Structure 1
Protein backbone atom coordinates (compact mmCIF):
# COMPACT_ATOMS: atom_id res chain seq x y z
CA UNK A 1 0.00 0.00 0.00
CA UNK A 2 1.63 3.24 -1.17
CA UNK A 3 1.22 6.81 -0.11
CA UNK A 4 -1.65 8.70 -1.76
CA UNK A 5 -0.74 10.99 -4.65
CA UNK A 6 -2.80 14.18 -4.71
CA UNK A 7 -3.47 16.28 -7.82
CA UNK A 8 -4.30 19.92 -7.08
CA UNK A 9 -5.08 22.88 -9.32
CA UNK A 10 -2.81 25.90 -9.06
CA UNK A 11 -5.49 27.94 -7.30
CA UNK A 12 -6.02 25.13 -4.78
CA UNK A 13 -2.27 25.09 -4.06
CA UNK A 14 -2.24 28.80 -3.28
CA UNK A 15 -5.37 28.38 -1.14
CA UNK A 16 -3.71 25.65 0.95
CA UNK A 17 -0.56 27.61 1.79
CA UNK A 18 -1.96 30.60 3.65
CA UNK A 19 1.28 32.22 4.85
CA UNK A 20 4.67 31.32 6.29
CA UNK A 21 5.10 31.37 10.06
CA UNK A 22 8.02 33.65 10.93
CA UNK A 23 8.83 33.21 14.60
CA UNK A 24 12.03 32.55 16.49
CA UNK A 25 11.20 28.87 16.80
CA UNK A 26 10.23 28.41 13.15
CA UNK A 27 13.39 30.13 11.90
CA UNK A 28 15.47 27.71 13.99
CA UNK A 29 13.86 24.94 11.92
CA UNK A 30 15.57 26.31 8.81
CA UNK A 31 18.83 24.84 10.15
CA UNK A 32 17.21 21.42 9.70
CA UNK A 33 15.77 22.23 6.24
CA UNK A 34 12.28 22.89 7.66
CA UNK A 35 9.78 25.61 6.74
CA UNK A 36 6.55 26.32 8.67
CA UNK A 37 3.28 27.41 7.04
CA UNK A 38 -0.25 28.21 8.24
CA UNK A 39 -2.76 26.00 6.46
CA UNK A 40 -6.56 25.46 6.61
CA UNK A 41 -7.90 23.27 9.42
CA UNK A 42 -9.14 20.65 6.95
CA UNK A 43 -5.87 20.34 4.98
CA UNK A 44 -4.28 16.88 4.92
CA UNK A 45 -0.58 16.04 4.86
CA UNK A 46 -0.60 14.72 1.25
CA UNK A 47 -2.40 17.87 0.08
CA UNK A 48 0.11 20.11 1.88
CA UNK A 49 3.03 18.18 0.37
CA UNK A 50 1.59 18.48 -3.14
CA UNK A 51 0.91 22.21 -2.69
CA UNK A 52 4.42 23.05 -1.41
CA UNK A 53 6.08 20.99 -4.16
CA UNK A 54 3.87 22.60 -6.82
CA UNK A 55 4.20 26.22 -5.72
CA UNK A 56 7.88 26.33 -4.73
CA UNK A 57 9.25 23.61 -7.09
CA UNK A 58 11.05 21.74 -4.28
CA UNK A 59 11.13 18.12 -3.05
CA UNK A 60 9.37 17.52 0.29
CA UNK A 61 10.47 14.58 2.46
CA UNK A 62 8.05 14.99 5.42
CA UNK A 63 5.07 17.03 6.60
CA UNK A 64 4.20 17.37 10.30
CA UNK A 65 1.01 19.18 11.31
CA UNK A 66 -0.38 20.57 14.54
CA UNK A 67 -3.67 22.22 15.47
CA UNK A 68 -3.40 25.36 17.58
CA UNK A 69 -6.42 26.15 19.77
CA UNK A 70 -7.36 29.84 19.82
CA UNK A 71 -6.81 31.67 23.09
CA UNK A 72 -9.66 33.14 25.11
CA UNK A 73 -8.92 36.83 25.65
CA UNK A 74 -10.61 39.69 27.50
CA UNK A 75 -10.54 43.19 26.01
CA UNK A 76 -12.30 46.05 27.82
CA UNK A 77 -14.43 43.56 29.70
CA UNK A 78 -15.55 41.74 26.55
CA UNK A 79 -14.62 38.08 26.27
CA UNK A 80 -13.52 36.83 22.90
CA UNK A 81 -11.77 33.85 21.36
CA UNK A 82 -9.08 33.85 18.73
CA UNK A 83 -9.60 31.53 15.78
CA UNK A 84 -8.17 28.00 15.80
CA UNK A 85 -5.58 27.31 13.09
CA UNK A 86 -3.31 24.59 11.78
CA UNK A 87 0.45 24.75 11.25
CA UNK A 88 2.42 22.54 8.89
CA UNK A 89 6.15 21.97 9.40
CA UNK A 90 7.50 20.92 6.00
CA UNK A 91 10.87 19.16 5.82
CA UNK A 92 12.63 19.69 2.49
CA UNK A 93 14.99 17.29 0.73
CA UNK A 94 18.73 17.99 0.99
CA UNK A 95 19.76 20.88 -1.27
CA UNK A 96 16.26 22.43 -1.54
CA UNK A 97 15.45 25.78 0.08
CA UNK A 98 12.49 28.17 0.31
CA UNK A 99 13.11 31.85 0.99
CA UNK A 100 10.04 32.97 2.99
CA UNK A 101 11.12 36.64 2.98
CA UNK A 102 10.33 36.98 -0.74
CA UNK A 103 6.87 36.73 -2.25
CA UNK A 104 5.67 33.85 -4.42
Structure 2
Protein backbone atom coordinates (compact mmCIF):
# COMPACT_ATOMS: atom_id res chain seq x y z
CA UNK A 1 0.00 0.00 0.00
CA UNK A 2 1.31 3.43 -0.97
CA UNK A 3 -0.35 6.57 0.40
CA UNK A 4 -0.03 10.05 -1.08
CA UNK A 5 -1.38 12.96 0.97
CA UNK A 6 -1.98 16.51 -0.22
CA UNK A 7 -3.32 19.38 1.86
CA UNK A 8 -6.07 21.57 0.36
CA UNK A 9 -7.71 24.89 1.15
CA UNK A 10 -10.82 26.04 -0.70
CA UNK A 11 -12.37 29.30 0.42
CA UNK A 12 -14.78 31.83 -0.97
CA UNK A 13 -14.87 35.58 -0.75
CA UNK A 14 -14.10 37.19 2.59
CA UNK A 15 -16.60 39.74 3.88
CA UNK A 16 -15.90 42.95 5.81
CA UNK A 17 -16.04 41.01 9.12
CA UNK A 18 -13.41 38.51 8.03
CA UNK A 19 -15.85 35.66 7.41
CA UNK A 20 -15.89 33.54 4.24
CA UNK A 21 -19.03 32.52 2.36
CA UNK A 22 -17.50 29.00 2.35
CA UNK A 23 -14.31 27.50 3.74
CA UNK A 24 -13.04 23.94 3.34
CA UNK A 25 -9.65 22.76 4.52
CA UNK A 26 -8.23 19.29 4.88
CA UNK A 27 -6.23 16.54 3.24
CA UNK A 28 -6.81 14.49 0.11
CA UNK A 29 -5.46 10.94 0.07
CA UNK A 30 -4.63 8.59 -2.76
CA UNK A 31 -4.22 5.04 -1.45
CA UNK A 32 -2.68 2.75 -4.06
CA UNK A 33 -2.48 -1.03 -4.14
CA UNK A 34 -1.34 -3.18 -7.08
CA UNK A 35 -4.90 -3.61 -8.35
CA UNK A 36 -6.88 -0.65 -7.04
CA UNK A 37 -6.49 3.00 -6.01
CA UNK A 38 -8.85 4.56 -3.47
CA UNK A 39 -9.50 8.30 -3.18
CA UNK A 40 -10.40 9.78 0.19
CA UNK A 41 -10.42 13.09 2.06
CA UNK A 42 -10.59 14.43 5.57
CA UNK A 43 -11.49 17.91 6.79
CA UNK A 44 -9.81 19.92 9.54
CA UNK A 45 -13.16 20.59 11.25
CA UNK A 46 -13.74 16.82 11.63
CA UNK A 47 -10.22 15.33 11.87
CA UNK A 48 -11.31 11.86 13.03
CA UNK A 49 -13.43 11.17 9.94
CA UNK A 50 -12.18 9.90 6.58
CA UNK A 51 -14.51 9.89 3.57
CA UNK A 52 -13.87 7.69 0.53
CA UNK A 53 -15.12 9.13 -2.75
CA UNK A 54 -13.59 7.12 -5.59
CA UNK A 55 -12.03 3.85 -6.66
CA UNK A 56 -9.89 3.27 -9.74
CA UNK A 57 -9.31 -0.20 -11.14
CA UNK A 58 -6.77 -1.12 -13.86
CA UNK A 59 -7.87 0.05 -17.32
CA UNK A 60 -10.97 1.72 -15.86
CA UNK A 61 -11.65 5.39 -15.25
CA UNK A 62 -12.09 6.52 -11.68
CA UNK A 63 -15.58 5.82 -10.47
CA UNK A 64 -17.75 5.93 -7.41
CA UNK A 65 -18.44 2.84 -5.37
CA UNK A 66 -21.58 0.86 -6.20
CA UNK A 67 -21.68 -0.44 -2.60
CA UNK A 68 -19.50 -0.48 0.51
CA UNK A 69 -16.78 -3.04 -0.37
CA UNK A 70 -16.74 -4.98 2.89
CA UNK A 71 -15.50 -8.03 0.98
CA UNK A 72 -12.38 -6.33 -0.44
CA UNK A 73 -9.17 -7.22 1.38
CA UNK A 74 -7.46 -4.01 0.18
CA UNK A 75 -10.27 -1.83 1.49
CA UNK A 76 -10.11 -3.63 4.84
CA UNK A 77 -6.33 -3.09 5.00
CA UNK A 78 -6.77 0.57 4.11
CA UNK A 79 -9.40 1.15 6.81
CA UNK A 80 -7.25 -0.61 9.41
CA UNK A 81 -4.21 1.49 8.52
CA UNK A 82 -6.07 4.78 8.85
CA UNK A 83 -7.73 3.60 12.07
CA UNK A 84 -4.74 2.00 13.81
CA UNK A 85 -1.81 4.07 12.52
CA UNK A 86 -3.38 7.49 11.86
CA UNK A 87 -6.11 7.62 14.50
CA UNK A 88 -9.23 7.96 12.35
CA UNK A 89 -12.35 6.72 14.12
CA UNK A 90 -15.18 7.28 11.62
CA UNK A 91 -15.31 6.29 7.96
CA UNK A 92 -17.79 7.22 5.25
CA UNK A 93 -18.07 6.25 1.62
CA UNK A 94 -19.87 7.75 -1.37
CA UNK A 95 -21.90 5.03 -3.08
CA UNK A 96 -24.16 5.09 -6.10
CA UNK A 97 -26.59 2.74 -4.31
CA UNK A 98 -27.34 5.13 -1.45
CA UNK A 99 -30.97 6.29 -1.89
CA UNK A 100 -30.18 9.69 -0.36
CA UNK A 101 -27.35 10.20 -2.85
CA UNK A 102 -24.75 10.96 -0.21
CA UNK A 103 -22.16 9.33 1.95
CA UNK A 104 -22.86 6.18 3.98
CA UNK A 105 -21.23 5.17 7.25
CA UNK A 106 -18.76 2.30 7.00
CA UNK A 107 -19.67 -0.13 9.78
CA UNK A 108 -16.40 -1.71 10.89
CA UNK A 109 -18.16 -4.71 12.39
CA UNK A 110 -19.53 -5.67 8.95
CA UNK A 111 -16.19 -6.65 7.42
CA UNK A 112 -16.36 -10.34 6.61
CA UNK A 113 -14.50 -12.84 8.76
CA UNK A 114 -12.54 -14.26 5.81
CA UNK A 115 -10.39 -11.14 5.57
TM-score by length of 2: 0.27
The structure with the largest helix share of the pair is: 1
Question: Which structure's relative contact order is higher, taking Cα pairs within 8 Å and 6+ residues apart?
Answer: 1
TM-score by length of 1: 0.29
